Every structure is written in structure tokens, then in C-alpha cells.
Amino acid sequence: MVQSLLALTPTLVVIAFFLIGPSNWSRRRTWTRAVTCAFVAAVALRYIVWRLTETVLPYPNDGINFYWVWFIFVVELLAFSEVVLFLILMSRYVDRSAEADRLGRPFFQRRHSDLPTVDVFIPTYNEPLDVLERTIVGTLALDYPRDKLKVYVLDDGRRDWLKTFCEAHGAVHVTRSDNAHAKAGNMNNGLRVSSGDFIAIFDADFVPYRNFLRRTLPFFSDETVGIVQTPQHFFNVDPVQSNLGLENIWPDEQRLFFDEIAPSRDGWDVSFCCGSCSIARRKAIDAIGGFPTESITEDLLTTLSMLNKGYKTRYLNERLSMGLAAENLTGYFVQRERWCQGGIQTLYLHNGPLRGPGLSLFQRIMFLPMSWLVQYLVRFAVLLVPIVYLWLGALPLYFTDVADYVSNQVPVLAAYFLLMLWITPTRYLPVVSSAIGTFAAFRMLPTVISSLVRPFGKPFKVTPKGSGNEESSFDAYTFTWIAGFIAVTATGLVINIVPETARIQGAFSAIAALWSGINVVVLVIASLICFEKPRRLFQAFKLDEPVRVDGTTGRVVSLSLEKAVVAVPTETRFRSPQVKLNLDGFEPIDAELRQATQRRGDISRSGDKRRYYLHLHFDLRGSERDKMIVKLYTGRYSRDVPDIDKVAVSVNLLLRAFGRTRGV
């Protein structure tokens, strides 16, 4: 009993530290983050020293198991290195909104003639009109003098219908004779035909908010700023949210980076350009010879090249645009494999973190693609350790007793999970986040290996987006791997429960059993992501605004470019399904009433119960459709998940595991 309590003491110390300190501290203060991250780093260092001195060095050289023990320790060393870099990074946080306010006042008080000119680049290859029209119309609606703003649609698809659309709306349609160097080459061609002082870049599926330039341009008052990057937000659910049945209760997969990691990188002056939703100084782009073409991730390499020349990147963590997240698993992996390969490519380039001139040692370290190189290897090792032990009896360490293991490993796990829950409270849950990472590992680890061996072996590949994007509804490759690991882990457990078939004995068996059980749970959740749910390509926005349908007053609670759902207080009958929708700021809209539904318990912002819902469909054309695009996509609405409802996440995952979903 006494020994058990002593073994738990370090874990209790960790828990007490977080209860006394971080739980009562602001997570945005630099000193609180620094103290907390330093504490977690100390706990991790204590663990790694114990691993080396007590569980690795004492292990006898008895053949293949000796090399297995050292392999696992090297993997843990890599994980430790990544965690330390992460802790250093997250020990700072910068919010530049107040700086944008301060710089914005004098910047826009200057005479109209003194305002800089801005070119907006929209590089496109094969996106359909229903994707491109939002971006083009949205950029043309930017709150900036029209004579100082030009929108360039850089069309590598050379489509006549897009040229016609651009001419009708006042955008400049640009083509070239070939598609050399993919997106980077396309934007370099845009540089040749444009002359603006600044260049804002939006991928073909991203729509800027109207105040984008007013919030970002003032940062260029500092002549050393070459790029201002803003976060990428989305108006549709990504395949992870959808396939897990967590559409409205779990944030999209990129929120952790854009909301938490990117502002911390900016606090250390190692922020980098992410391509879309950014704006760059033309003088800085000219200084590096245009957008770099050596890597398939020209955005990251642009930042590194500018750092070589003394220019820096700033990150403004404000919602200033919306776009399409990858719509299915095919697009999801195309995107991430490109990011992974591009990050690893920088290791081989003259202007990368290893060889690029003008970089400090700290910058070189922070721009190493450590996360890509380490995280998926670590996840595979976590899955393999209990399997190897259950089937072969091979220990991953020189094992003394359970108390020693609990005293050293449990505290570091507790410290890391508590840190993540404190520093990213609305973006992280240990089991779900681990399952998502494990799901990706089966495809991404081969990409890491192939990128290290042949970094330039795969060409640039566009992420498929849009209404024509209907791909496979089941990821058989990943599911096969996951199912195999579940089967081998579960079978190993069963075999070793029965005394007649047991292959292992000893104190580590209990730890291996618990470890295996956690792995099975994580793998089951990961397997759910493999099954594509039926999806709506373009989601409606939730709102609560007054509206009239013929003579009936109601409130529009859901609105898209083609549909509206109107809540009315009482059941209403119309003479005809053809009705007039009167929405503030629009001419009366000819709509068709397709359905009327009843739902109890809904309450509007005004407090009135709304039980009847009119489902209206319409077909807007011309300027009225453009007005609706501006209304919906340029800043008034969002699809953010502000907090994580842990109970709802658990219930929905359980239902999803049995093939059911619950409306959320």
C-alpha cells in the first residue's frame, strides 16, 4: 500500500501543480505559459533520464530483443525532442489585434492618393464555377478603393467560360501557354502582368472578408515585414468531423494549428506563410526572385527565402476569410501528403532551414519539419509495443516493477495531457485527437519515408474541390491496416488471458493489457473515419434574422445560396408553393416551398418558441446572387465550434460506432 502511494506521488504532484497554477492562470500570459511549459519539460526530462539509466543501459545484449529495446528508446528520444520544441514554441503567444488597431488608424488616415495599390491573385486550375464565383465576387467586394485594387484570376485551366465570367464582373483573367511549376509558376506569371505594391493571395475556394485589407495592410508600415498571414477557416465540415458524426461539436482538424500553434510561432518570430489568406509585399517577392518553384509548398519556401533576405512574416489571428476544407478523404490526404513532402523537401534546398543564409540557429531548428518526421513513427511504435510483447514476449525496456513504471511514465503522460487541455481547451481531447493522428499515420508514414528517399519524386497535385468532387466513399486501404492492428492486438490479449495458451508472464503483462485496451479503443475510433458519410457539398449558415414569406412574418434560421429555412410561430398555409421571400437588402425572391416541418423546443434569440419551419428553394441570378454571396461569405457568419461538449462527443462516437448518428 505504501509503495503504491509512493509510486503515485509524482502523478499527484503533477495534478496538484495544474490545479493550483494553470487552472487559475490566464493561458494567454507569457509568464504563465513559460512556467507551465518549463514544468512539463522538467517532468519529461525526468522520464527520459529514467528510461536511459534504469531501463535501457541495464538491458543485457541478448540478441534481437536488445536492438528492439534501443529502437523503442530512439523513437522516444525523437518524440522527446519534438515535445521539447513544442513546449518552447507554446511558451509564448502573441495576439496582434490591438497592434492592427493601433497601426490601422494612421495608415488609413492618409490621403486617398497615398494608399498603396493591391493586386489579388486567385490561382485556379480545375475548380468549377460554383467554387470560383464566391472567391471572385468576394474579392471584388473588399473594402478598399476600387482604383487601388485589381483582382487577377490566374487560370491554368485556360477556360473560356471563366474568361467570360471575369469580364462580366470586372476581374482580370490571366492565362499562360503551359503549366510549368504548377501554382508557383502560375503566380509568377501573375507577377509579370501586374504591378500592385502588395499581393493578396486566395486559393480558388477561399473568400476574403470585406475588411481583410484594412486589418492586414497596416502591418506593412514596418518595412521589414514581407508577409502577413491570417488563419484559414472553413464553411463546410471536413471529412474527419463528418465521418465521426461530430459535425457541430468537434472543431475542424486545422484549428489547433491556426488558432494555437501559429500565434505561438509568431511570438518567436518564426511564423510562416500558408499560401492562401495571406498578403505579401511585392518588393520582398522581387527580392527573392519571385515565388520559389523548387518545392511543391511554395508558401513555406517563400517565408524561408524572405528570411534569407531579412524580411519576416507576421500572423494576425483573426477570422478574415472562409474556404472549403477538404471535402472527402481523397482530398484530405492529397493535401496533407503535399504539405508533408514539401516540408521535407526544404531539408534538401539551398534556401531551406539547413543551408539557407541569414537564418539564426533558433530559426533553423524551428523550421525543421520535426512534426512530419516524428509523429507518425511514434504512433506506429505505440501500436507495435504491446503487440510485440503479447506475441513474442519481447519487452520494450528493462522492466523492474509496476510501481517504478507508474512513478515515471504516468506523470509525463498526465503532464502532457493536462497541458494540452489547458493551453488548447477547445481544440483537443486526448483519445479523439490520438485517434485522428493514428488514422492519418497509415498513409502518412509511407509518404514521410518516400519523401526522405526521393524528396522530389512526386509532382504538385491539386486538392480536389467543388461540386464535381465525388470520390470513393470508403477508405479500404486505411481500414485494412486498422482492422489488422485491432485483430492482432485483441487476439494477443485473448491468447494471453487463457493460461494454456499464454505466451507471457510477469508484472509487465498488466501494463501491456491496459496499453492494448487503449490502443483498441483508439483504433476503433480511427476506423470510423474510413467510412464516408453522405455529405452536402455546400452547407447553409445558421442565423436568426427577420424575414417575410408572402404576408407571413418569421425568422430565417438557415440560409445558403439556394435554400432558406424560415421559422414561423404558427402553422401557415399558402395558396401556392410559389411564394415571395422578402429578405432585408434584397429584391423579393421567387421561392418554392418544398416542405414544412414541425419541431418542438426551439427558441429564437428573442425568446419566442419557433415550432414550424418552411423549407424554401430559390434560384438567384446575376447581381442578386452576387449580393447573396457577399452577405453569406464575407464576414457576417461562421461555422465555428466555440467549445467542445465532451459528453456530446462521447455519445456521438458511441452511436457512430453502431452505425447511427444523432443530430447536433
Is the predicted pLDDT of residue 608 greater than 70, yes or no? no
| 612: its cell numbers | 414550424
Is the predicted pLDDT of residue 532 greater than 50, yes or no? yes
Looking up cell 457576417, which residue turns up? 636
Question: 541-633: same fold as 97-368?
Answer: no
The three-point CA angle 473-475-480 to 5° equals 140
CA distances from 466 to 96, 133, 145, 324 (A): 33, 11, 31, 8
Q: For residue 220, how far is the Cα from the chain centroid?
A: 27
- How high is the pLDDT of residue 460? 75
In tens, the pLDDT along 397-441 reads: 888 788 898 999 999 999 999 999 999 988 888 899 999 999 999
Is the predicted pLDDT of residue 639 greater than 50, yes or no? yes
**Any idea which of 152-166, 239-253, 623-637 has the lowest mean pLDDT?**
239-253
Give alpha helix (H) positions in 313-429.
329-345, 361-366, 370-392, 402-423
- How high is the pLDDT of residue 630? 96
In tens, the pLDDT along 380-396 reads: 999 999 999 999 988 89
- How high is the pLDDT of residue 536? 59
In tens, the pLDDT along 277-313 reads: 999 999 999 999 999 999 999 999 999 999 999 999 9
In tens, the pLDDT along 313-349 reads: 999 999 999 999 988 898 899 999 999 999 999 999 9
Q: Please choose, from the candidates 242, 509, 549, 544, the residue with its C-alpha nearest in 3D space to the C-alpha of residue 401.
A: 509
> Which segments within 504-619 are labelled E, that is strand?
541-549, 552-559, 563-568, 578-583, 589-598, 612-618
Q: Which fold has domain 541-633?
A: Thrombin, subunit H (2.40.10)
Q: Which CATH superfamily is domain 97-368 in?
A: Spore Coat Polysaccharide Biosynthesis Protein SpsA; Chain A (3.90.550.10)
- How high is the pLDDT of residue 607? 52
Q: Of residues 284 and 600, which shows the higher confidence score?
A: 284
Mean predicted confidence (pLDDT) in 182-201: 97
The three-point CA angle 51-54-59 to 5° equals 100
Burial 623-642 (b: 16+ CB within 10 A, else e): eebbbbbbbbbbbebebebe
- How high is the pLDDT of residue 604? 46
Is the predicted pLDDT of residue 601 greater than 60, yes or no? no
The residue ranges of every structural domain in the chain are: 2-91+371-528, 97-368, 541-633
Residue 664 pLDDT level (bands cut at 50, 70, 90): very low
**Any idea which of 327-341, 343-357, 513-527, 530-544 has the lowest mean pLDDT?**
530-544
- How high is the pLDDT of residue 603? 47
Please provide the distance, in angstroms rounded to a whole number, between the alpha carbons at the two ends of the chain: 46
Is the predicted pLDDT of residue 376 greater than 90, yes or no? yes
In tens, the pLDDT along 89-128 reads: 999 999 999 999 999 999 999 999 999 999 999 999 999 9
- Catalytic residue set: 156, 299
Q: Please choose, from the candidates 375, 378, 303, 372, the residue with its C-alpha nearest in 3D space to the C-alpha of residue 343.
A: 372
